[in-house]
Chain A
Amino acid sequence: MHAALLTLGFGIVTASILALSAVAFTLQYGVTNVANVSHGEILTIGAYAAYLVHQRTGSAPAAAIAAALAGGLIALAMYSSVIGPFIRFGASPTVIFIATLGVSFVIQNVLVIFFGAANVAYNIDPGAPQQVGPFLLNALDEQIVISAVVITAALFFIISRTKFGKALRAVSQNRELARVTGINATRVAAATFFLAGLIAGYAGFVLAESVGSFTPYFGFGFFLITLTAAVAGGLGRAVGTMVGAVIVGIILEVVPALPVPFVGGYISASYNLAIAFAILALVILFRPRGLFTSARRTVFE
């Protein structure tokens, strides 16, 4: 039982980072109907920005802010230069999906040009592990979980209580209708992207901190898990996404610990991502609107 709880605890940390990334992805999807494949690159850029600032100033909070700002700016740029124009020009979501794949490729290679393809080490002392209830967490883990909760709460407040949040929800549900009521859908979408970018950039900083080193390709790898969490939670639904993130995060920790009669012993942890994808496929096939939603979004988009 103790081991099971420990594993659960580990899962929660992964899930927190995942939740931040997934909710940012889902915000973008909600407001444009586009799955932004270059979402992972927002995290990568956040990580590099944090690294540069940390090198100059030695201050982790400054690095975190830099990461968030860099993420916000690059997400805004993605919207204004690629996704927005494509939407205005009437491209289908699938076409924009492919275009963001191209953008992802460009960003990765630009980062390679400037920073090299080898990994960059980002070492922040994580602090000694302590018992927090039945879990074993260190200061870094606590920071991650707490900040994830705070950001989530703030986001929830913004979405449900502010005028901007109302406009965001309106545009997410029906863009045309929102326009008719006088909402500038483009402005709202751009602002949403900036907001999502802030969160994703911060997630990149947190991920780099906890992993300890990164390369220009590391955001893309994390994107695949993010996608799983977002789809499992229900694309476009922020709350569901976060629950999806928690579930996926825990599953990714728990599965390698399960005894299974597979090649004698345990499923090797290297099948992790494959398992994540299997989950993704199952969810899409049987509950494509997400595990927790009753949305009437059709699958034929």
Chain B
Amino acid sequence: MNLVNENTKRQSGAARLVASVAAAAWVLAACGSSTPSSNSHLPTGPVTMGVLSCFTGSLSSLGAAMLQGSQVAQKAINDGGGILGQQLVLQHADTQCDEADGAVAARSLLSNSNVVGIIGPETQEIAAVTPIVTSAKITTQFQGGSTLFDKNTNPYLWRDSPSDSQLGVAMALYAYNKGYRKADLIFYSDIAAQTFPPPITNTFTKLGGTVVKSYTIAPAQTSYLTTVQQVIADSPDVIFTQTDAPTAAVLFRNFQQLDNLAIPFVGTDVTGGSDYLKAIGNQVAHDHLISVYGTSVSGAATDEFNRVFALVVPGANQQPLANANYAYDAVISQALAIDKANSISGPDINAAMTSVTNPPGTQCYTYPSCLALIKAGTKINFDGASGPLDYNQYHNVFGPYAAFQQSLAGQQVQVQLMDAAALAAATP
């Protein structure tokens, strides 16, 4: 058979391929610069910030909220005088809630859009995105709750939303103060299931309560009746929970079937989100669920957020998406850092961050007022819509937490405040 000819044709074809590939690699190496073009210090055109999150996939509500909050901040900034005299432009990139796409999306934002700061990403993507933003020296406002970030030492990563570990402490403290002593945990099989149970359990136990058992359920099943039965058999005083909305719908329905929702629930910011509340229904939420999450010290920043929100999303009965305020604060604080540093170079912005957010300084709550103070040379301490934004040495924030109940009219109403001191005392 004349296979010999086929073989040599293949081999020389393969060899040519190898050669051309190697050549391409050398050419790229030759004409590529070894450092990226560093941002010059003053902007010559609109300033771009990147929103890096999931816009498709089951966690896409996070991306939508991040983008919305950023847009509100964008309006506030552009109406309030812009950044260093330039308008703010937002560019978003979809990580599809996965690491592989996240890495490419981050690189795309950096090299194609020349962003000076990034809002995001989420917990799934942060590991892969970190080296990229660190080498580019771009300030990145991580928006995930993972407790792995509690001891963050990377200077370019900041988190303006409190860690899930803090949230766990607050949940346990609230429940204990309410008089509950026996607890069960129900979390769904996701990164949340790993981050919440330890701080809740440790805090609750430290305060004097007991955790009977921690249950992990798979999301979006048609029934959790067996798990619910086991929980009821434990006869706890309270159930700590976080699941996604569809899972919650089934879970609450099952509890209603079996014990008429006799055991109260204490949840997180996710359980205070509009899609979660929609899924379980307003009445049920009002009667049986308390959501614990971070809140602001003063109302002024939140009022400003809501005011600008109404301009961006007009219409009666429009509510900001849950956690949009964290993205809003992230963008505003980055903009203020740029104004303070008088530069759009990454390291300069990063160095200026704590000088606009941390005490001491004159407290300010809106972009225009903070900007005016900076221009007048006063040291400011920006307190945002989501909290005082006082970063500790790990670039994490702490703040007061509040317990929220859903009103029959469909709003989250604060029913109890737990201040930072009480939380610190309760932290194991």
* B residues near A119, Cβ cutoff 8 Å: 244-246, 275, 279
Residue from A3, A215, A218 with most neighbouring chain B CB atoms (10 Å) = A215
Query: Of A112, A117, A129, A211, which one neighbours B220 at CB under 8 angstroms?
Result: A211
Query: Of A212, A268, A271, A272, which one neighbours B246 at CB under 8 angstroms?
Result: A212
| Overall SS of chain A's interface | helix
Known: A7-B229, A213-B278. A207 touches B222 (CB 8 A): yes
B253 is an interface residue with CB less than 8 A from chain A: yes
Q: Which of B146-154, B210-218, B291-299, B389-397 interfaces with chain A?
A: B210-218
Query: Of B223, B230, B246, B278, which one neighbours A218 at CB under 8 angstroms?
Result: B246
Query: Of A7, A211, A213, A257, which one neighbours B222 at CB under 8 angstroms?
Result: A211
* B residues near A211, Cβ cutoff 8 Å: 220, 222, 246, 249-250
CB atoms of A10 and B253 under 8 A apart: no
Residue from B189, B223, B258, B281 with most neighbouring chain A CB atoms (10 Å) = B223
Bitwise interface map of A from 103 to 142 toward B, beta carbon under 8 Å scored 1, else 0:
0000000001000111101010010010000001010000
Bound Cα distance A106, B4 (Å): 45
B37 is an interface residue with CB less than 8 A from chain A: no
Q: In chain B, residues 243-278, which have Cβ atoms closer than 8 Å to a Cβ of chain A? A: 244-246, 249-250, 253, 256-258, 275, 278
Known: A126-B256, A268-B189, A268-B216. A213 touches B246 (CB 8 A): yes
How distant is B147 from chain A, measured CB to nearest CB, in Å? 20
Known: A126-B253, A269-B216. A117 touches B57 (CB 8 A): yes
B60 is an interface residue with CB less than 8 A from chain A: yes
* B residues near A191, Cβ cutoff 8 Å: none
Bitwise interface map of A from 256 to 272 toward B, beta carbon under 8 Å scored 1, else 0:
11000000011011111
CB atoms of B226 and A138 under 8 A apart: no
B224 is an interface residue with CB less than 8 A from chain A: yes
Q: How large is the interface on B (under 10, 10 to 19, 20 to 34, 35 or more residues)?
A: 35 or more
A41 is an interface residue with CB less than 8 A from chain B: no
Residue from A13, A121, A252 with most neighbouring chain B CB atoms (10 Å) = A121
Known: A129-B258, A269-B216, A270-B217. A257 touches B226 (CB 8 A): yes
* B residues near A155, Cβ cutoff 8 Å: none
A77 is an interface residue with CB less than 8 A from chain B: no
* A residues near B279, Cβ cutoff 8 Å: 119, 121, 212-213
Query: Of B216, B217, B244, B250, which one neighbours A212 at CB under 8 angstroms?
Result: B250
Known: A213-B279, A215-B58, A218-B246. A272 touches B223 (CB 8 A): no
Bound Cα distance A3, B246 (Å): 26
* B residues near A265, Cβ cutoff 8 Å: 213
* B residues near A253, Cβ cutoff 8 Å: 223, 225-226
Which residue of chain A has the shortest Cβ distance to B233 in the bound complex?
A: A3
* A residues near B230, Cβ cutoff 8 Å: 257, 266
Known: A6-B229, A207-B222, A269-B227. A118 touches B249 (CB 8 A): no
A172 is an interface residue with CB less than 8 A from chain B: no
A221 is an interface residue with CB less than 8 A from chain B: yes
How distant is B391 from chain A, measured CB to nearest CB, in Å? 31
B221 is an interface residue with CB less than 8 A from chain A: yes
A217 is an interface residue with CB less than 8 A from chain B: yes
How distant is B198 from chain A, measured CB to nearest CB, in Å? 16
CB atoms of B58 and A217 under 8 A apart: yes
* B residues near A126, Cβ cutoff 8 Å: 253, 256-257
Which residue of chain B has the shortest Cβ distance to A214 in the bound complex?
A: B246
CB atoms of B61 and A7 under 8 A apart: no
How distant is A209 from chain B, measured CB to nearest CB, in Å? 10
CB atoms of A123 and B281 under 8 A apart: yes
CB atoms of B246 and A118 under 8 A apart: no
Residue from A138, A217, A270 with most neighbouring chain B CB atoms (10 Å) = A270
Query: Of B61, B221, B281, which one neighbours A272 at CB under 8 angstroms?
Result: B221
* B residues near A112, Cβ cutoff 8 Å: 56
Bound Cα distance A7, B188 (Å): 21
CB atoms of A138 and B278 under 8 A apart: no
* A residues near B222, Cβ cutoff 8 Å: 14, 17, 207, 210-211, 222
A279 is an interface residue with CB less than 8 A from chain B: no
Which residue of chain B has the shortest Cβ distance to A207 in the bound complex?
A: B222
CB atoms of A272 and B218 under 8 A apart: yes
B64 is an interface residue with CB less than 8 A from chain A: yes
CB atoms of B220 and A269 under 8 A apart: no
Known: A118-B61, A121-B279, A211-B246. A256 touches B189 (CB 8 A): no
How distant is A185 from chain B, measured CB to nearest CB, in Å? 35
How distant is B261 from chain A, measured CB to nearest CB, in Å? 12
Which residue of chain B has the shortest Cβ distance to A125 in the bound complex?
A: B281
Which residue of chain A has the shortest Cβ distance to B189 in the bound complex?
A: A270
How distant is A89 from chain B, measured CB to nearest CB, in Å? 31
* A residues near B188, Cβ cutoff 8 Å: 270
Contacts A116-B60, A118-B275 given; 14 further ones with Cβ under 8 A? A117-B58, A118-B64, A123-B281, A126-B253, A212-B279, A213-B246, A217-B58, A218-B246, A257-B226, A268-B189, A268-B215, A270-B189, A270-B218, A273-B218
Show 29 A/B contacts (Cβ-Cβ < 8 Å), sorted by A: A3-B229, A7-B225, A7-B226, A10-B225, A10-B226, A117-B56, A118-B61, A119-B275, A119-B279, A129-B257, A136-B257, A207-B222, A210-B222, A210-B223, A212-B249, A213-B249, A213-B275, A253-B223, A253-B225, A254-B226, A256-B227, A266-B230, A269-B218, A269-B221, A270-B216, A270-B217, A270-B218, A271-B218, A273-B218
Listed in ascending order, the chain A residues whose CB lies under 8 Å from chain B are 3, 6-7, 10, 13-14, 17, 112, 116-119, 121, 123, 126, 129, 136, 138, 207, 210-215, 217-218, 221-222, 252-254, 256-257, 265-266, 268-273
Pairs A-B, 8 closest by C-beta atoms? A212-B249, A270-B189, A270-B218, A10-B225, A117-B60, A121-B278, A213-B279, A129-B257
Listed in ascending order, the chain B residues whose CB lies under 8 Å from chain A are 55-58, 60-61, 64, 188-189, 213, 215-218, 220-227, 229-230, 244-246, 249-250, 253, 256-258, 275, 278-281
